[in-house]
Every structure is written in C-alpha cells, then in structure tokens.
Structure 1
Amino acid sequence: MKTNPWWRGAVIYQVYPRSLMDSNADGIGDIPGIISKLDYIASLGVDAIWVSPFFRSPMKDFGYDISDYRDIDPIFGNLDDFDRLIEQAHAKGIKIIIDQVLSHTSDQHAWFEESRQCRNNPKADWYVWADPKDDGTPPNNWLSIFGGCAWEWEPRREQYYLHNFLKSQPDLNFHNAEVRAEILDEVEFWLKRGVDGLRLDAITFCFHDQKLRDNPAKPKEERKGRGFTEDNPYAFQYHWYNNDRPENLQFLESLRKVMDRYPGSVTLGEISSEDSLATMAEYTRGNNRLHTTYSFELLVENFSTRYIRETVETLEASLAEGWPCWSIGNHDVRRVMSRWGGEAKPDALAKLFNAMMLSLRGSVCSYQGEELGLTEAELQKHELQDPYGITFWPRFKGRDGCRTPMPWQENAHNAGFSEADSTWLPIPREHRPRAVDRQDDNPDSILNAYRTFVLWRRDQPALRLGDIEFQDAPEGQMVFTRRHPDQKLLVAMNFTDQAATLALDSLPTGPAQEGHGFTGARIEGQQLILPAYSAGYFSLEL
C-alpha cells in the first residue's frame, strides 16, 4: 500500500467554510474556524480536507464567482490564515485540497472589467464574446444552468458574453492561449504555497464550440436532473456544444504537467456532461490528464441498490487505468439522509450509507455533516441565500438546505457554531440532537460508527485499493467482493428494515470481521444472514 499515491483510496472530507465554524462572531464560518476544528477532523481518520472556495468574491454564488484567484476574501480571513491552515493540517497528517473554479470568473474580476470595455483592449478576447444575430437576439440557443439564456448583452461592446452559470459569472475563453497560460499560473500560485491538490469545479465547461452551433433538443423521456429540477429548461437540451469539448483534453494534459512538478499533488475533477461516466473514464485515461474524477451519478434523488451496482459496473467497464472518486452528498444536492433515508431515517441507515460509500472501489468525498447523519434543512423563502433556489422557488428550493452551519453543541447559542446574534443561514432545530457533543461520547452514535469504520478501513488493502466485482442480490441488498494481492473480502449489505437471507456464489471460510462497527451478519449452513440495516465483511481465500 505504501507504493501507491496517497490519494488512491483516500477519504476526503469536504468543508464548506461558511458553515464549519465561525471564529470572529460575524455569523459566517472562516479559515481560523477550520483551524480550530482540525482536531475534530483528524479524529474522523480522514486523509484530506477539500475546502470549498474562499477566494475574494462578491459572493453572488458564494465563492464560485472569483474576483481574485490569489487572495482570500476578508470574510474568511487572509493568506496568513491559509498558510497556518496548511501548516497545522500537515502537522496532523491531513492533506489540503482547494477548490479551483477555472471555467469562469466573477464579472467583478479585473480581467472582465477590462474585457467588457471595448473590442480592442488587451483582455478583449479573454472571455467568450459573440455578435448578435441580425435580429439582435443571442447568437445561439445555449442555456444557463441557473435558468434562462446563457448570453448577456454588453452595450459597450455591442456583443453578448457567455455565462453557463449566473450572468455575473462570465465564461473565460480557453481558446485563447494567453488565458490558458494565465490560468496555469493561477493554479501554480497555490501549489507553491503547499496545497496538496485541486478540486476542479465545472471542469468540463472550459471550452465552447467556436462555431457556436445550437444544442439539439432532448426528448422528454431522456431529461434527467443530476442536480437540476425537471422543470429547468437546461434539461431540455443535449449540451454538446457548450460543454465537454474535445479541446479540453489538451488543456488537462497541460495542467497535469504543472501538477507533476509538485510530486504528490492531485487533481480531482467534477464531471458534468451528457455521459458523465464515459467522460470520467476519458478524463483520467493515460496517466497524463486528471488523477481522479467524480460526478453526480450517485447524487440521485432515489436510492436503489441495483442503480448503485449498474453505475459502478458501467464506470469500471470503461475506466481502464483511471481511478474513480465517489460521493453520495455535497454542497449542491439535498442531504443524503433526506434523499435516501425515507420517512423513518433510522441512525442505522445513516451508518450503512457511509459504510457503502467507503466500501466502493475508489477514493471518497465525504461532505461535512454526513458523519452526523444530518438531514436537509427546511427553509422558508425569506431565509434563502442561494440564487438557484430563489429563481426556481417553490418547485426547487435550492442548495441552502444542505449548507446550514454545523451543530457542535446541542444546547449552546447557535449550536456552538457562532457567537453572533444570527448566522448566515439558520441552524435547524432538528439538527441540535445530532450535534457533535451529543454524539461524541455515545459509542453507538453515527459519528462514532463513522470514525470506527474509517480507522478500520485504513488497514484493509482490499477496501482502499482492491478491485470490485458484484454478485447478484435482490433489490435492497448489495453483495460484492474486493480483491487485492494481500486480501480478498466479501462485502454484504442489507438496506432494508427486515432481515435478509442470501445464497452466495461462494461462501466465506470464517465469521464476519470485527472492528468495523457492524455486528450480526453471519453464515448459517450455506446461507448468509443479514440483520436489518447491517453490513458484513468476510475474508475469502486469495
């Protein structure tokens, strides 16, 4: 296991900095707040922290609209704070991965402020500009993910600019060699400061079709959300021309050359395309593009063991030498216990979802609060901050419900998150009983089950690095083997509230392994018995 790069099989803990811990009583989490919780994060046994954007920004999209790639927004701290975060995290054996938003900037970035002035300034071609059609309408039918047309009129240039997201997030023109070179310099600024990796936001959106061809219509039966509501017109098109263009691969190879100058650094790409699994395989092929990728394929609304198996097997069939990263929750989708947990939402199911995520082949991104079993917060319209939710209310309530502050102390002011009178998003009353202090000393808590499993997983080469092969099982149960030269495990899971009895292709030679936090799974004769909401890990002969 020591010969493999650290990120293979790693558990990466995603921190949404606005909501982890507030150190200065302004109601917003910050970098010193992250530093103050490093002991807690270390106690989870994770390998790295992915810190969502903290760069200078007008915060129209809460940091994903960057106005200065090389500075920290004052609400989060300053560069000295960030350097301390790296130093203290490294001292505890924790790597730091930062979000990099390369496809677009804020409209308040100095580059765009210059570019929009006229058609002949030094930055004139740094963004995607296009003339209107003869009737004055936008150059094509491309749509914004956040609703409506993806083009915005700029009267000073008498042209439209492209924005795949908010109109305050203009897209950079990656067909311009100066832009590509500058973006690589921005990336290297952080590598020189000691970051261990980059999570690449919206990385499939860097290039656009230079012919500006219309996207074709998508039949209704093929419209899948993957983070978008069914009534969002964005789902009405095949996004062939504004996303996942072939030129992107050459840029990724240039980016990889920069990363290779910093041994041990990693790229984690967020993949969103018409066939995200195929794109994940393509973007990690050849050992000269991205190190690993993840997509929204397991962030679906409804849970199905059959779907999980089909998704993993489809990716495995095309992945070749690539390496996947899986997540079942993040800052863009409803919390997993509300999506998949049903009405009852038992603690045992939260433990099982985490164990499943940590047992698939690949690395893992685990979103803050999943170790507590947090549910989606139900907010009123006047409490919303997310422009996505405000636009699509009430059919879609946006992403604020998964971004509420962490509950640290059940009975403390603002649940121990902040000393401010109020917080940037309210702390749900139903989260308080799941606060860290409530779970910390309870050996049966979701939090301690998470810790136990992650620490046990560290010493299981089959789970961290092994191949995966599924066996047939009824809906509600999942059975697969993980095979490594030093270990072979049979993994069996029951996600239902009834005990299950399974006949397997080959039975284990001994009892279930101890130490991973699940008990009760056993062999009886030629059958495997799985209690409700249980998992069993059995050794197999190599």
Structure 2
Amino acid sequence: MKNVSLKSGHSLSITESNATQAQHEWWRGAVIYQVYPRSFCDTNGDGIGDIQGIIKKLDYIAELGVDALWVSPFFKSPMKDFGYDISDYRDVDPIFGKLTDFDELIAKAKQHGLKIVIDQVLSHTSDQHAWFQESSRSKTNPKADWYVWADAKADGSPPNNWISIFGGSAWEWHEGRQQYYLHNFLKSQPDLNFHSDALRQQILHELEFWLQRGVDGFRLDAINFCYHDQSLRDNPFKPVEKRTGRGFSPDNPYAAQYHLYDNTQSENIAFLESVRALLDRYPGTVTLGEINSEDSLKTLAEYTQGKTRLHMGYNFELLADEFSPHHFLHTVGALEEVIGEGWPCWAVSNHDVTRVVSRWGSGKHNNDFAKMALVLAASLRGTLCVYQGEELGFTQADIAREDLQDPFGIEFWPDFKGRDGCRTPMAWDTSSTNAGFSDGKPWLPVDDAHRRNNVSVQQQDPESVLNFYKQFLQWRRTMPALVSGEINLNTSSSTDQLLVFRRTNHDTEIHACFNLSDSTAVWNAAAGSQIALGNGAKRNDNGTIELGPYGFALCI
C-alpha cells in the first residue's frame, strides 16, 4: 500500500491493485490534456510552438497524471484561423515541423503511457485547399459538388439569411464560378458538402491516414456543422429573451436566429455511424465530438447513442459564463435524463473561451478557486478535458489592441476581444523574458501574471495549483466511483451557495460538496462520513462541514 497526502490533512491509503486497475475502455472517465501547439513550447526560436516542443515536455504532461493528449490542429494551413482552416489534411504545417516529428510524438507519447487524440476539422477547409481550388473552377469538374455552392437570388443577394459565426452573411460570392459558397466561419473557410457521396468517402480516407499512423482518436471540431438543409430554408428569427447560451452574447447577430437549417441536420447521424465503423476497425481508438447546437444536450445524446455513433461528446454548457449550483444541477441533470448509455465529456476551459478562473472567479483569481474548479469538473460523471495552463491556475491574459491576432476579436473589438487571451504562451520558467517558451518573439505576448506564476515556481511550492493537480489526479485514478460511477444530484441539499451530489460504484460512495460562493457556507454532510479530500473544509462538533469561500469536500 502507499499513502497520498493531500492539503486537506488526510492521508489516503491506496492499494496498488486499485491504482493500476485497467479499464476496458480507456477513455471512460479519462483525463485528456489539451495542447494548443502554437503556444505550448517553441524549440526553433520562431516564436511559435511546435511538435518538438510537445515532445520536449512529455515528461511534464505525464507527471500531471493525465491519460491522453488532445493536440489542436497542426496540419498545413494558411493560418487565417490558426490551423482550423486546413489546406492539406495529410501534412504537417512547416511552422510545427514535419510528419516525422509527429510520428516521433506518437512513439514517445506511448513510452510515457499517453494516448494521442488529434483535432480533425471536417465541416470545412481552407479556401487554399486543392479541393476548393478545383471545385471553384467550374460547375462540372469532378469536385464541383464537394463544397456548398448556390445561385444568387434574382436581385443578386445571397441565397438565404444564414449568418457566419464570425460576422456577416454566411455566403461569399465567387466571381469565377458565378455562385455563392457557404462559410459558417471565416469566408476563407468554405463549408464542405457532405451530401456528396464522393466527399464523404474522401473524408473517411483522410481519417484513416492518421489512424494508420497510430493516433488513438479524434476530437471532431464543430461536428454538427457537417450537413446543411439542401432546400436552403431561412433560419427563423429568435426573440432577444431567448438569445442565451451557446457562447454568443444576445447582441451578436448570430444569436438572433434559431439555427435550424445551417447545421445539425438528421443526415449527419449516418455519417457519424460511418466514422464509428471506421474506428471500430482500429481497436482502442475513440471519437470526441464538439457539439454546439440549438439543443446541445439533446444533440449530444443523439450523437453518442448506442455503440454505433460517437464514443463521447462535449458541449459549451460549462464553457459559458453562468456559474451557480442551479446551472450545474440543470445542465448535468438534463443531460443525464437524455443521454442513456451515451458518455459525456466535460470541459471548463479551452482555446475558444475565457479561462475558467477569470470567467467564473468573479475577479477573485486565487489558487483555491482553481483547485475547486478542477475537482468539481473531475468529479462529474464523464471524461474531462483540461486545457494547458489550467493546471497552473492561469487567468485570462489582457491583450492590447495592437497585439491581437484572432480575426474574431479584430472583427468585434472592443465589445468582444476574441480568443487571444486564453491562447497566450505557456510560462515554463524564469530563464528569459519569454518565460522559457521561446528564444524568439512570441506570436502572442507572455502574460506577466503567468510569468510570475510559471511552472518551475509552482513545482517548488507544495501548496501550488500544479502540485495539487498532480496529487488529485493520482488519487482520482484510485476512486472507481469518480472515474466510472453513477451520479446522483442532491437537489435538496444544494443551495444558492452549495452544489451537492453523490458518485457511486458498487459498494463505494463519495459525497461531494462545492461552495461556489465567496463567503463561508455550512453543509449538513451524511452522518458518519469522513472528509477524504477537501480544501477550505473543516468538520464542526455538531457533524456539519464548514466550507470557506470556494472550498470543497469529498467525503467517503
């Protein structure tokens, strides 16, 4: 047996058999660490992170106690949307390295016991992709229907009222072809036409290329955007009071429509089943779908139903601004009601949203909040994605207007500053003005707060967020109730301050309570239970547990 000491003051006895218990499906309850390559580690001094930088830091990633890496796009791209605009699905962009570098990453990750899951952007490509170049030449070439083309209305205006997420019409006129093409994102990101049999088959070939190279799965970007309504019907108007959720502010034009026809079409189910059939030929591989629809919980349940579709999916419900016990109870409860045998994946930070300690922390950016946010997300039923820097408690960086890189932020400044603030470089040490990220000028500035709170500083501090992450994830692996158990939401014990739920696995039961407020709260814990893990938690003489601001307790 071995003991794991945690800040709560409790020492947990862990049997080696429990600690090494193998799961039949590795991804159920796994922790996946998201690497944004541009900002992780630069080894050639050009100011942009690269694949060799990921390889260099594999020891660090493995020591966190995660199970897999999700690597954001590294494919050849003009970088208008920083890799989410792919111009060649089968090649590495030179700024990140070569295909041989990626092969080395897979091999060395496996030596560290880590799986590799890569981003795949299937709904659209770059307008510089060879497919689009051919498709745009004429209406009769072999790839003429590989993208979504439509004639103008009689007055020359776009075919319908669909809006791009990045602003303006979702249609762009192409002079050469004398038609509009659809782009749900940037105009340089034309949408692929999944109604084309040949296109769908080609996409499966692109996926298999990476499966044959040894990847363990795919994170499927915007996977519900693959299909569009072939009749090109207008989206209905959405009243102002209904424009909440999905990550869009009510004043964003995109939020002014019910997006019924530009995404999340029924035909997508058959395509997902063909993707699953492909992965079933490569045992142990997995699909994780990003889903952002009008009813994301319902769509997630549909897309993960049975064993013939996605293995798991995640949505933006916990990537939103709302932070309250009610929101968690509603979101988790609503999903559990519909998901059946499907499997959820949770994320509270990623490369597209404000970092969690800034988004939910109400300006009170401290280590206790960062620790609580991790334990809360990792205690829900499902798999967890952790975004680089989250394990350090990094806050959202404030980027000056002249330093902005994100086209989303440039378009909507100053009302929306874009996504650069969560994409700034990792701060590794105090060896240089760039905190060990690069010997050159970084593509985005290193945040001063991150520089002061870098990896090397936190490694030497036993009370740091980083060391807490390592200890907690090690302990979590020994708790089957947290990894794969059922969840029971305790609505009667939850309050305006406290979120309470229970995780169970056979005879094991863990009672969890989180104080989501900045004031002290008292929890009437289950009689006889003991605090196995806690922060800012103490048991009173009357049996209740007092939780300090953003404190938590897991009891067994």
Q: The residue matched to 2:54 in structure 1 has which SS?
A: helix
* Equivalent in the alignment of 2:444: 425
* Equivalent in the alignment of 2:481: 462
* Equivalent in the alignment of 1:233: 253
1: CA distance, partners of 2:101 / 2:51:
6
Q: Deviations over 1:433-478 (max 9, x none)?
A: 2100110011100111111111100000000001111213212211
Counterparts of residues 2-151 of structure 1 (less than 5 Å): 2-151=22-171
Amino acid at match of 1:496: S
**Is the counterpart of residue 479 in structure 1 residue 500 in structure 2?**
yes
* Equivalent in the alignment of 1:359: 379
CA RMSD of aligned residues (A): 1.3
Q: Does the 8 Å contact 1:490/1:508 carry over to 2?
A: no
Q: Does the 8 Å contact 1:225/1:235 carry over to 2?
A: no
Residue 3 of structure 1, CA deviation = 4.5
Q: The residue matched to 1:69 in structure 2 has which SS?
A: strand
What number of residue pairs does the alignment pair up?
534
**Is the counterpart of residue 216 in structure 1 residue 233 in structure 2?**
no
* Equivalent in the alignment of 2:416: 396
Q: Does the 8 Å contact 1:199/1:270 carry over to 2?
A: yes
Residue 155 of structure 1, CA deviation = 1.4
- Higher mean Cα deviation, 530-539 or 250-259? 530-539
Residue 537 of structure 1, CA deviation = 1.6
* Equivalent in the alignment of 1:380: 400
Q: The residue matched to 1:285 in structure 2 has which SS?
A: coil
Unaligned regions of 5+ residues in structure 1, if any?
Answer: none
* Equivalent in the alignment of 1:443: 462
Q: Does the 8 Å contact 2:245/2:317 carry over to 1?
A: no
Q: Does the 8 Å contact 2:534/2:551 carry over to 1?
A: no
2: CA distance, partners of 1:508 / 1:58:
60
- Which residue of the other structure, out of 443, 453, 463, is the alignment partner of 1:434? 453
Q: The residue matched to 2:554 in structure 1 has which SS?
A: strand
Residue 535 of structure 1, CA deviation = 1.8
1: CA distance, partners of 2:197 / 2:120:
19
Q: Does the 8 Å contact 1:67/1:105 carry over to 2?
A: yes
2: CA distance, partners of 1:286 / 1:523:
46
* Equivalent in the alignment of 2:520: 499
Question: Kindly tell me: are residues 229 and 268 of structure 1, through their superposed partners in 2, closer, same or farther at Cα, counting changes over 3 Å?
Answer: same
2: CA distance, partners of 1:32 / 1:524:
55
Amino acid at match of 2:524: A
Counterparts of residues 274-293 of structure 1 (less than 5 Å): 274-293=294-313
Question: Kindly tell me: are residues 349 and 232 of structure 1, through their superposed partners in 2, closer, same or farther at Cα, counting changes over 3 Å?
Answer: same
Q: Does the 8 Å contact 2:428/2:454 carry over to 1?
A: yes
Q: TM-score, normalised by structure 2?
A: 0.94
* Equivalent in the alignment of 1:530: 547
1: CA distance, partners of 2:177 / 2:268:
28
Residue 287 of structure 1, CA deviation = 1.3
* Equivalent in the alignment of 1:303: 323
Q: Does the 8 Å contact 1:227/1:332 carry over to 2?
A: no
Q: The residue matched to 2:428 in structure 1 has which SS?
A: coil
Amino acid at match of 1:323: W
2: CA distance, partners of 1:27 / 1:291:
36
Q: Deviations over 1:402-442 (max 9, x none)?
A: 0000001135230110001x110011112112100110011
Q: The residue matched to 1:491 in structure 2 has which SS?
A: strand
1: CA distance, partners of 2:522 / 2:535:
17
Residue 508 of structure 1, CA deviation = 4.2
Amino acid at match of 1:74: P
1: CA distance, partners of 2:543 / 2:149:
67
- Which residue of the other structure, out of 334, 346, 351, is the alignment partner of 2:366? 346
Q: The residue matched to 1:493 in structure 2 has which SS?
A: strand
Amino acid at match of 1:482: R
**Is the counterpart of residue 520 in structure 1 residue 520 in structure 2?**
no
Q: Does the 8 Å contact 1:202/1:271 carry over to 2?
A: yes
Unaligned regions of 5+ residues in structure 2, if any?
Answer: 1-20
- Give me the identity figure in percent: 59
* Equivalent in the alignment of 2:338: 318
Amino acid at match of 2:223: I
2: CA distance, partners of 1:269 / 1:16:
17
Q: Deviations over 1:203-229 (max 9, x none)?
A: 000000000000000011011253333
Residue 199 of structure 1, CA deviation = 0.1
Q: Deviations over 1:97-116 (max 9, x none)?
A: 00000010000000000000
* Equivalent in the alignment of 2:17: none
Amino acid at match of 2:306: G
Q: Deviations over 1:35-54 (max 9, x none)?
A: 00000001100000000000
Q: Deviations over 1:275-332 (max 9, x none)?
A: 0011111100121100000011001113112101110000001010000000001000
2: CA distance, partners of 1:168 / 1:498:
48
2: CA distance, partners of 1:339 / 1:398:
14
Q: Does the 8 Å contact 2:534/2:554 carry over to 1?
A: no
Residue 533 of structure 1, CA deviation = 2.7
1: CA distance, partners of 2:414 / 2:189:
24
1: CA distance, partners of 2:230 / 2:374:
43
Q: The residue matched to 2:349 in structure 1 has which SS?
A: coil
Amino acid at match of 1:428: D
2: CA distance, partners of 1:520 / 1:373:
20
Q: Does the 8 Å contact 1:453/1:517 carry over to 2?
A: no
1: CA distance, partners of 2:311 / 2:71:
18
Q: The residue matched to 2:60 in structure 1 has which SS?
A: helix
